[in-house]
Chain A
Amino acid sequence: MATTTVEEQLCQSVPGRHADLPETTCGTIRLDLHTGEHTQHWYLTIADQRVEVTRSVAEADLVIGAERAVLDQIAAGELHLSAAFLRNALTARGDLRLMMLLRRLFPGPAGARHPRDAAREGLRR
């Protein structure tokens, strides 16, 4: 089970400045979260290493659609965005380059270690 939902991430960690985004990259991404019959639309605008998150059905450079549960897993770092795409658990239409950036907007798996910490653990053993 995902420990965090995609909505929490979209409200908390996704908006704002991301120093690891290339400053030359800009574009718009729409996330369509499907729950049964219902679809929720989130709209991300990326420019100058900043991400703005709104709710909109407007057309975007990249439109991603998936079951909410799949996006929850991705947001929690439990499922790799590329793997989800390859197995057709999410659909993507438009500029796929932006998908590579979207991956970086979510914090990644919980419990991931800095290589130095992993090395220290290894040496102690």
Chain B
Amino acid sequence: MRAERTQVLAGNVFAIGDAQGDMEPDPRTPTGLFAYDTRFLSHWVLTVDGHRLNALSRVDVAYFETRFLLVPGTASHYVDADVSVLRHRSIDDSFHERITVFNHSSRPAEYTIRIEVDTDFADTAEIARPARRAARISARTGEGELRLRYERDRFVRETVVTTTVPAQIDEHGLTFRVTVEPAGTWAADLHVDMVIRGAGGRDLRAGITAHQQRVRQAMQQDLADWLDRAPTLVAENSALGGAYRRCLVDLAALRYTPLAYAGRVPVAGLPWSMGLYGRDAMVACLQSLPYAPELTPATLRMLALGQGGRLDDDHDEEPGKIVSVFRYGESAAFGEEPTALYFGAADTTPLFVILLDEYERWSGDEDLVRELRHPARMALDWIGEYGDLLGDGYLRYQRRNLRNGTVNQCWKDSPNAITYADGREPAFPRATCELQGYAYDALRRGARLARQCWGDPAYADGLQARAAALRERFNRDFWLADREYYALAVEPDGTPVDALASNMGHLLWSGIVPPERAARVAEHLLGPQLWSGWGVRTLGAGQQRYNPVGTHLGSVWLWDTALIAAGLRRYGLDEAAGRLATGLFDVALRLDGRMPEVIAGYDRSVTKYPVQLPSGGYPQAWAAGSLLMTLTTVLGLDPCGENLLVDSALPPGLGRIELLDVPGRWGHSDAYGRDRARHPARIR
């Protein structure tokens, strides 16, 4: 049983502690205060008269604000406590804690309030792979402040703890000796600034008053506006409404402003991936287009800025390639990991074109399509030039950075994710099937953009022809006629890799599957090997490497299942799509709307409850987006010219759903659906 964790976050700044709000190192999970991929507090423990505190209650006011009500002593002794402590924590680009002590006795009381402070300035990349750290941290005390500092060449990180009330400050913390009147209170504000010296000349320190104002007013208002801009969901099942709101809030919490860009883009998720990951960000954008379209232009522009421009083996970079990850930690800064700007992903580049086109379909924003013409063309050209590693027309990957490059440069990026049914691993370069679907989709969408917005019909014709050729070739080479499903991948020599995996579901989303094969693919996706009852397993039961708790070897990723559900509806397989949607909604309802990134692949009838895996985090942008995408799927929302087409096919048990004020090129439009009978299209 894991100890309870509490967290506050704002973009890529976050703090994770225990149920009392204390933070102490834990080898199993990142705890402490983090910003820009660096741990600025590893130890933050509050005591009263030398006693640790116990939580009586906790209120998570907002994702960036938590209140703990605490009393000293252990659970069996605290009932008669005559002192209690309110710990009110908030975060934006700095961390703030207001400690209020209440004396409940009829006599003045003296207390020693102590906050222990320490840090290791670890890079989040190291926390995932713990190693002995030789960092030398210096501690300096000053007037009302404790300053912890780490220096490596000119790389400087500082944690500065300040207090509004006089304290005795030593190198390990702050002590307050106070007298509190009967029925009186005492309070102090502790403020923690995280300083990144030099990075952009941006000093992250902020005044205490400014922070409080930002959190209490600006951030509250920002969240209220964010929710207000999103469509209103009215669901007969009110828990679904709660889950919808929760997912919107999760996405709001994960927005951050990169150093090199002025707009807010989604980070992948807490705690392992609090940086901009191209794939995760673009998937979250695709999922949230009908709900929060504002994420997309910022994400596309930021990714265009970081687009590859030359050949670089260490960063697996090529001209036109869209970035896999941007990070700011020490290992990125010193090139120990190539993550300052790493390009090891074969799917991000087609996804960039797909997202640009899908955004235009919803928003009608042709200006952005024209603004991003050049990066989009570079991306389309990359698919045929650098992405086609053997010149045989398939999009493949093979890392050139053999030291610490990503082995599998597709969404199933764990090192052993791509195998044959009998467990053998194919040679490189590898062409997984879903990459071919994305490439096909990107070429077709690129052709549409070239015709409609770039005034380049000749280029469009070329893309169209490439797409058609890819489709034909793919359906010949990847289809396993004897088993009637698509191979997970093909080897360099064309041998199909025969594992039964969820990847083929993406092919439906991309539209590369001939209609007459779609039903067979659906039967496999919903068959006993792949379908868990909650979602589609990444790898089918019965495959040699199958493991229901293996990251990409049998567990269920919610975004994967949501994308497959969308694909099934695309092919008119509404009943199958409805079963997937029901599974995902049930996960959301069982977990109070908190969509985890990944759950175990155990059969639903065995566990009765979605089992979360520690390798996945919460919140995760593309997990939260999964619920949104599934709503889009069951309501059958689709831009059709200047209108929003609604063609609902709600699975049984969902009752009536109204989604009001869906933003798009039509202004705002409403969508309605009811379960059981399929309703005719409604166009507004």
Chain A contacts to B: CB under 8 angstroms: 20-24, 77, 79-80, 82-83, 85-89, 91-93, 96-97, 99-101, 103-104, 106-109, 111-116, 118-119, 122-123
B341, CB-defined interface residue at 8 Å: yes
Residue of B at shortest CB range from A25? Answer: B374
Give 14 A-B contacts (CB < 8 Å), ordered by A residue.
A24-B371, A80-B341, A82-B340, A83-B332, A85-B199, A86-B340, A88-B153, A107-B310, A108-B311, A108-B312, A115-B386, A115-B400, A118-B400, A119-B389
B142, CB-defined interface residue at 8 Å: no
Task: Give the docked Cα–Cα distance between A118 and B311 (Å).
Answer: 12
Using Cβ atoms and an 8 Å threshold, which residues of chain B touch A86?
A: 155, 199, 328, 332-333, 340
Using Cβ atoms and an 8 Å threshold, which residues of chain A touch B50?
A: none
Contact present for B398 and A113 (CB under 8 Å): no
Task: Give the docked Cα–Cα distance between A116 and B375 (Å).
Answer: 22
Other-chain contact of B398, A21, A85, A122 (Cβ < 8 Å): A122
Other-chain contact of A87, B154, B391, B400 (Cβ < 8 Å): B154
Chain B contacts to A: CB under 8 angstroms: 152-156, 197-201, 259-261, 304-306, 309-315, 317-320, 326, 328, 330, 332-335, 338, 340-341, 371-375, 378, 386-391, 396, 398, 400, 427-429, 492
Task: Give the docked Cα–Cα distance between A113 and B416 (Å).
Answer: 26
Contact present for B389 and A115 (CB under 8 Å): yes
Contact present for A88 and B374 (CB under 8 Å): no
Residue of B at shortest CB range from A101? Answer: B305
Residue of B at shortest CB range from A106? Answer: B310
Secondary structure type dominating chain B contacts: loop
Using Cβ atoms and an 8 Å threshold, which residues of chain A touch B318?
A: 114-115
Contact present for A119 and B319 (CB under 8 Å): no
Q: In angstroms, how far is the closest chain B Cβ from the Cβ of A35?
A: 17
Contact present for B400 and A113 (CB under 8 Å): yes
Using Cβ atoms and an 8 Å threshold, which residues of chain A touch B201?
A: 91-93
Task: Give the docked Cα–Cα distance between A103 and B323 (Å).
Answer: 14
Contact present for B396 and A87 (CB under 8 Å): no
19 more contacts with CB within 8 A, not counting A21-B374, A119-B389, are A20-B309, A20-B310, A22-B374, A23-B373, A23-B374, A24-B374, A83-B332, A87-B334, A88-B154, A88-B156, A99-B260, A100-B260, A103-B309, A108-B312, A112-B310, A113-B313, A115-B386, A116-B389, A122-B428
Using Cβ atoms and an 8 Å threshold, which residues of chain A touch B314?
A: 109
Residue among A77, A80, A86, A114 with max Cβ neighbours from chain B (10 Å): A86
Task: Give the docked Cα–Cα distance between A80 and B396 (Å).
Answer: 26
Instruction: Contacts A96-B200, A104-B310, A112-B312 given; indicate if A83 touches B398 (C-beta within 8 A).
Output: no
Instruction: Contacts A108-B310, A112-B311, A113-B311 given; indicate if A88 touches B198 (C-beta within 8 A).
Output: yes
Contact present for B311 and A87 (CB under 8 Å): no
Other-chain contact of A116, B315, B330, B391 (Cβ < 8 Å): B391
Contact present for B335 and A79 (CB under 8 Å): yes
Task: Give the docked Cα–Cα distance between A80 and B199 (Å).
Answer: 15
Other-chain contact of A114, B198, B320, B338, B386 (Cβ < 8 Å): B386
Contact present for A20 and B319 (CB under 8 Å): yes
Contact present for B260 and A97 (CB under 8 Å): yes
Contact present for A83 and B309 (CB under 8 Å): no
Other-chain contact of A96, B259, B427, B428 (Cβ < 8 Å): B259
Task: Give the docked Cα–Cα distance between A36 and B107 (Å).
Answer: 67
Task: Give the docked Cα–Cα distance between A119 and B374 (Å).
Answer: 28
Contact present for B429 and A83 (CB under 8 Å): no
Instruction: Contacts A91-B198, A96-B260, A100-B305 given; indicate if A82 touches B400 (C-beta within 8 A).
Output: no
Contact present for A88 and B260 (CB under 8 Å): no
Contact present for B390 and A116 (CB under 8 Å): yes
Using Cβ atoms and an 8 Å threshold, which residues of chain A touch B198?
A: 88, 91
Using Cβ atoms and an 8 Å threshold, which residues of chain A touch B390?
A: 116, 119
Q: In angstroms, how far is the closest chain A Cβ from the Cβ of B316?
A: 8
Task: Give the docked Cα–Cα distance between A94 and B662 (Å).
Answer: 38
Q: In angstroms, how far is the closest chain B Cβ from the Cβ of A121?
A: 10
Instruction: Contacts A87-B333, A88-B155, A97-B305 given; indicate if A112 touches B260 (C-beta within 8 A).
Output: no
Instruction: Contacts A22-B304, A24-B374, A99-B260 given; indicate if A118 touches B313 (C-beta within 8 A).
Output: yes
Residue of A at shortest CB range from B326? Answer: A82
Q: In angstroms, how far is the closest chain B Cβ from the Cβ of A21?
A: 8
Residue of B at shortest CB range from A23? Answer: B374
Using Cβ atoms and an 8 Å threshold, which residues of chain B touch A122?
A: 398, 428-429
Task: Give the docked Cα–Cα distance between A123 and B428 (Å).
Answer: 8
Q: Top 9 closest A-B pairs, CB basis? A: A104-B309, A88-B198, A108-B310, A86-B333, A112-B311, A87-B333, A82-B340, A96-B260, A22-B374
Task: Give the docked Cα–Cα distance between A113 and B370 (Å).
Answer: 32
Task: Give the docked Cα–Cα distance between A62 and B398 (Å).
Answer: 36
Residue of A at shortest CB range from B334? Answer: A87
Task: Give the docked Cα–Cα distance between A24 and B454 (Å).
Answer: 14
Task: Give the docked Cα–Cα distance between A83 and B389 (Å).
Answer: 28
Task: Give the docked Cα–Cα distance between A96 and B341 (Å).
Answer: 15
Using Cβ atoms and an 8 Å threshold, which residues of chain A touch B259?
A: 96
Using Cβ atoms and an 8 Å threshold, which residues of chain B touch A20?
A: 309-310, 319-320, 378
Contact present for A22 and B375 (CB under 8 Å): yes
Using Cβ atoms and an 8 Å threshold, which residues of chain B touch A77?
A: 310, 312
Contact present for A80 and B335 (CB under 8 Å): yes
Using Cβ atoms and an 8 Å threshold, which residues of chain A touch B338?
A: 80
Using Cβ atoms and an 8 Å threshold, which residues of chain B touch A79?
A: 335
Task: Give the docked Cα–Cα distance between A73 and B338 (Å).
Answer: 16
Contact present for A119 and B310 (CB under 8 Å): no
Task: Give the docked Cα–Cα distance between A77 and B332 (Å).
Answer: 16
Task: Give the docked Cα–Cα distance between A118 and B305 (Å).
Answer: 26
Using Cβ atoms and an 8 Å threshold, which residues of chain B touch A83?
A: 332-335, 340
Using Cβ atoms and an 8 Å threshold, which residues of chain B touch A88?
A: 153-156, 197-199
Residue among A87, A109, A116, A122 with max Cβ neighbours from chain B (10 Å): A87
Using Cβ atoms and an 8 Å threshold, which residues of chain A touch B389?
A: 115-116, 119
Using Cβ atoms and an 8 Å threshold, which residues of chain A touch B197?
A: 88
